[in-house]
């Protein structure tokens, strides 16, 4: 009996070691207390702890998180978005960060990843009215995919990526956004595709030449929430991880 117990304990210990996360890895529940350099898994909790619907309460029923994979079911519509969906944002705000997101989009679909979102619905109805967006789209069949600065990987309506390396609809892609002391770098599928400086004269010029010029606060906030967009299409996210810099 004693020998069996020791064997069981050893097996449990080996299993735990195999599944052990790095020492600098935490889940979304620890986001507020995370130190610089610690990776945070923002999809660690099946209840979507650490997220809420922009300007509202808990994440809507159209967003489903299972086994670390988040799916927006857009089969039922509410205007141009999904019934029970809506844009979701992190409870935590981030200043200097490294964000990694894996995503795939449905055929002809459209979505986006936003950052530096300022949540104030008295002034801004949607997150995209304050937070820059790295675009998610089916470039082949979505109408936005045919427009310069609106293609997957672009800094939406501001800058185009310098190479076409986005996988087709239904395939996984990886976007990384590094924002550190005003320097913005975006990678798609592990390749640097865009670099710029935030908040300087050129940044203001980019905004002045875009659709966002009508929103005075757009692109001005130096700390804000991360947002995943509901643009009325099925979209999937996984391995949404962030660390403070």
Where along the chain do its domains lie?
24-244
CA dist., res. 79 & res. 83, Å (int): 8
Helices marked H in the chain:
2-18, 201-208
Give every CB contact of residue 88 below 8 A, 6+ residues apart in sequence: 48, 51, 52, 53, 54, 59, 60, 63, 227, 228, 230
Phi, psi of 16 (to 5 degrees): -65, -40
* pTM for the predicted model, two decimal places: 0.87
Could you give the C-alpha distances from 182 to 67, 222, 242, in angstroms and in order?
A: 35, 8, 17
Q: Which residue has the tokens 């991360």?
A: 226
**Residue 80 in this model has a pLDDT that exceeds 90:** yes
CATH of domain 24-244: 2.60.120.560
Give every CB contact of residue 71 below 8 A, 6+ residues apart in sequence: 63, 64, 65, 234, 235, 236
Average pLDDT over residues 135-153: 91
| pLDDT band with cut points at 50, 70 and 90 for residue 230 | very high
Per cent of the chain over pLDDT 70 is 87
Type and span of the H or E element at 187: strand 183-188
Residue 226 is encoded by which pair of tokens?
Answer: 């991360």
**Residue 229 in this model has a pLDDT that exceeds 80:** yes
Average pLDDT over residues 70-81: 97
User: Mind listing the pLDDT tens digit for each residue in 52-61?
Assistant: 999 999 999 9
CA dist., res. 89 & res. 79, Å (int): 20
Residue 221 is encoded by which pair of tokens?
Answer: 């906030």
Check residue 14 and give its pLDDT: 36
């Amino acid at each position: 009996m004693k020998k069996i117990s020791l064997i069981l304990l050893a097996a449990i210990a080996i299993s735990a070691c195999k599944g052990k996360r790095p020492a600098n890895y935490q889940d979304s529940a620890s986001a507020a207390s995370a130190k610089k350099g610690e990776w945070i898994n923002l999809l660690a909790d099946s209840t979507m702890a650490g997220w809420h619907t922009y300007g509202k309460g808990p994440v809507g029923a159209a967003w489903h998180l299972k086994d670390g994979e988040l799916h927006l079911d857009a089969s039922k519509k509410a205007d141009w978005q999904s019934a029970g969906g809506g844009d979701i944002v992190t409870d935590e705000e981030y200043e200097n960060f490294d964000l990694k997101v894996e995503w795939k989009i449905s055929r002809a679909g459209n979505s986006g990843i936003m950052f530096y979102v300022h949540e104030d619905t008295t002034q801004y109805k949607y997150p995209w009215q304050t937070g820059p967006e790295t675009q998610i789209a089916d470039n082949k069949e979505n109408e936005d995919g045919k427009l310069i600065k609106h293609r997957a990987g672009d800094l939406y309506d501001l800058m185009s990526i310098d190479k076409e390396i986005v996988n087709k609809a239904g395939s996984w892609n990886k976007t990384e956004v590094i924002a550190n002391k005003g320097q913005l770098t975006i990678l798609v599928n592990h390749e640097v595709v865009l670099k710029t400086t935030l908040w300087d004269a050129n940044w203001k010029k980019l905004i002045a030449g875009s659709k966002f010029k009508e929103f005075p606060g757009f692109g001005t906030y130096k700390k804000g929430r991360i947002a995943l967009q509901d643009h009325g299409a099925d979209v999937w996210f996984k391995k949404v991880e962030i660390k403070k810099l």
